[in-house]
Structure 1
């Protein structure tokens, strides 16, 4: 009888342990851990991050209200050593997925892990950045959205705002791969349309004001690609250009909001939301980044900074989509 009771007790305890394990597994399945690495704080990248979080929260909640998302957000403040150590931290922790915002962040993460799913946004060209084999089928643990805007249309827009035949000014950071790629596109467009350029490269925020002042009398307007340094310096650029009565067309809407005149381009909040939908497919539907095609922005919009346009003597309602 004792043996029988002991046997029953053993079975009961084993069952309780198994139930407990089952409950623990269930509880852990109800929490998603998402890391986020951002190279520097500025309007465009911040908007992408906020769009990503809001859309992912919405999508997951619609799927299952009981699922919680823990975000681990790291910002390198433009420092490469910070970026590398933060990438190390995020890849060592058991994140279900990591978001890399901008090319340097994406590259830092991709170097640290080949297994954790990575989605990226605000990257101009994933293939040239060494993140994927090709856009159609990445064949790596990385996929995401590109922020390459319609450079040709943006230059056409700028030309429509200029009032003389002086060259178009172009300012960018030569140490950013994404900017170098866009400037190559600018040069190609200029060659095909007999457009003269005055190209200036800066690598520090300390040089931005003097660079704008230096080109003020030599150009008819300024074009800025989607460049992290330029985006971080938009208020300075906007003030200097406005004082010189120069229209500024930017690579993104957020840059134009912060000091440009107009753009026909990407809204980074929308791009972040688009990236979140890809993350949802990985986290909930168990899709693999290796097989998920890289996406470009679904929407392009004309944005006019009315205050800036008026200060330059340009009627905002006269600015048309290129």
Structure 2
């Protein structure tokens, strides 16, 4: 009888241990780990990150309330060595999914792993950046959303705001692939429509103020593509442009809010939310990133910085969608 009781007790303990292990395993599966790498801190990219978390959390709240997400966020502050070390850390931590915000961050993550699913946002052209085989069929461990805005319509908008026949100015960072692509598009449109341009490139925030000063008296207005350096320098650009009474059309709404005059473009928070919904499909519905087409922004908006417009002599009510 003793042997029977001891055997029964042993068996019950074993069942409890196994049940505990099973419970822990189930608990582990309810926590998803997402690593986020951002190239630099500014309004557009911060909005994309917030939108991503909002989009993913919203999907989970609607369909799987018992799932929790742990975010591991790192910001390289524009430093390439930081990108390398941070991407290494994020891949070594065995995150369930990685998010690269802006082209350099996405490229850094892609170089470190070909296995962990990677989504990107605020990347102008993932294919041109070497992240996917094609934007329609990635066939790599990378997909996400692209932030290529309606460049030609933005240049057209600037043309309606200028009050002289001087060339339109374009200011951009020539070391950013995304900016180079947009400037090429702007040049092509300008050539086709007989619009004269004064194109200036910089590679450091230290050169932005002098570049804008150098454009005074030479241009009728300034176009800024979605460019991380320009976005980080919007307060400086906005102040200088207002002093010179120059309208500034930007690639994104956040840039216009931070010092531009107007834009017809995308909202980075909305773009981030799109990416967050894609993340839900990967993390919960087990969709394969390699089969998910890169998405464009689903919504475009006319945004007018009314205070800025008034200070340079424009009537905000007369600014129309291009």
Alignment-derived partner of residue 46 in structure 1? 46
Alignment-derived partner of residue 315 in structure 2? 315
Rounded Cα–Cα distance in structure 1 between residues aligned with 2:11 and 2:106: 51
Alignment-derived partner of residue 120 in structure 1? 120
1:2 CA displacement: 4.8
Alignment-derived partner of residue 84 in structure 2? 84
Rounded Cα–Cα distance in structure 2 between residues aligned with 1:142 and 1:307: 41
Deviation string, structure 1 residues 178-202 (Cα, Å, up to 9, x no partner)? 0011111011111111111100000
Gaps of 5+ in 2: none
Alignment-derived partner of residue 248 in structure 2? 248
Aligned to 1:134, the other structure's residue is in SS state: coil
Map 1:153-164 to 2 at 5 A: 153-164=153-164
Rounded Cα–Cα distance in structure 2 between residues aligned with 1:236 and 1:193: 31
Deviation string, structure 1 residues 163-218 (Cα, Å, up to 9, x no partner)? 11111100000100000111110111111111111000000000000000001111
Matching of residue 296 in structure 1 with residue 309 in structure 2: no
1:57 CA displacement: 1.3
Alignment-derived partner of residue 263 in structure 1? 263
Aligned to 2:303, the other structure's residue is in SS state: strand
TM-score, length of structure 2 as denominator length: 0.98
Rounded Cα–Cα distance in structure 2 between residues aligned with 1:31 and 1:250: 39
Alignment-derived partner of residue 94 in structure 2? 94
Rounded Cα–Cα distance in structure 2 between residues aligned with 1:7 and 1:185: 78
Deviation string, structure 1 residues 94-119 (Cα, Å, up to 9, x no partner)? 21111110000000000001111111
Matching of residue 207 in structure 1 with residue 213 in structure 2: no
Matching of residue 136 in structure 1 with residue 136 in structure 2: yes
Deviation string, structure 1 residues 123-162 (Cα, Å, up to 9, x no partner)? 0000010100111111111110000000000000000001
Rounded Cα–Cα distance in structure 2 between residues aligned with 1:274 and 1:230: 24
Rounded Cα–Cα distance in structure 1 between residues aligned with 2:50 and 2:68: 17
Map 1:210-229 to 2 at 5 A: 210-229=210-229
Deviation string, structure 1 residues 278-312 (Cα, Å, up to 9, x no partner)? 00101110101001010000000000000010011
Rounded Cα–Cα distance in structure 1 between residues aligned with 2:295 and 2:89: 28
Would you say how many aligned residue pairs link Structure 1 and Structure 2? 322
Rounded Cα–Cα distance in structure 2 between residues aligned with 1:294 and 1:220: 36
Deviation string, structure 1 residues 5-26 (Cα, Å, up to 9, x no partner)? 4443342232122211110111
Alignment-derived partner of residue 105 in structure 1? 105
Aligned to 1:296, the other structure's residue is in SS state: coil
Alignment-derived partner of residue 167 in structure 2? 167
Rounded Cα–Cα distance in structure 1 between residues aligned with 2:107 and 2:168: 32
Aligned residues: CA RMSD: 1.0
Rounded Cα–Cα distance in structure 1 between residues aligned with 2:2 and 2:242: 93
